[in-house]
Amino acid sequence: MTNLTQEQKQLIEKIGIYHEQQGFPPVVGRIMGLLYVSDRPHLSFEEIIDTLNISKSATSNALNLLLQMRLIEYTTFSGDRKRYFSALLEKWHQEVVDKMGSILAFSSLLRKANELRGDSNPGMNEKVLERIEFMEFLSREVPLLLEKWRKERKK
């Protein structure tokens, strides 16, 4: 079991709540919180269960979801059959770009909804079009901002 301070436990819960607000199951957010807060680079399945006091089933489901979403990774060590999990931090740039792709795809769906609605509700069409335009703007600008940030960071 990983020993956590009260402050670390509170932060895990806050990170969990944040992830819940993003549509994730509660256990997913708590596991992400633990992986971010832990002073150890990798935690075993059993350590996650014991530290967070959650069931094997809930832990397994949450870890599988996080692995599928490429938010965590696991490693094994020679002579040890256990898998050790850690937050996947190296590819956050790609996560940002992927989210922009998702936003662009949704804007395309909204554009189609406006087309199908026709001129029957011009007020709604205008509000939806404004959202579409902003989403398309974001999808163009965020990759440029990411590249600018990378260049400035190298200085």
Query: pLDDT value at position 137?
Result: 95
Query: pLDDT value at position 66?
Result: 95
DSSP SS3 for 3: coil
Give the whole-angstrom CA distance, residue 107 versus residue 100.
10
DSSP SS3 for 43: strand
In order along its 155 residues, the chain shows pLDDT tens digits of 568 899 999 999 999 999 999 999 999 999 999 999 999 999 999 999 999 999 999 999 999 999 998 899 999 999 999 999 999 888 788 888 888 888 999 999 999 999 999 998 999 999 999 999 999 999 999 989 999 999 999 88
Query: pLDDT value at position 16?
Result: 94
Query: pLDDT value at position 90?
Result: 82
Query: pLDDT value at position 155?
Result: 82
Query: pLDDT value at position 103?
Result: 92
Query: pLDDT value at position 2?
Result: 66
- Backbone phi, then psi, for 4, in 5-degree steps? -120, 145
Entry pTM: 0.75
Question: What is the dotted CATH code of the domain comprising 6-87?
Answer: 1.10.10.10
Q: Where are the domains of the chain?
A: 6-87, 92-154
Check the CA dihedral 60-62-68-71 and report its sign: negative
Give the whole-angstrom CA distance, residue 135 versus residue 122.
20
Give the whole-angstrom CA distance, residue 12 versus residue 26.
11
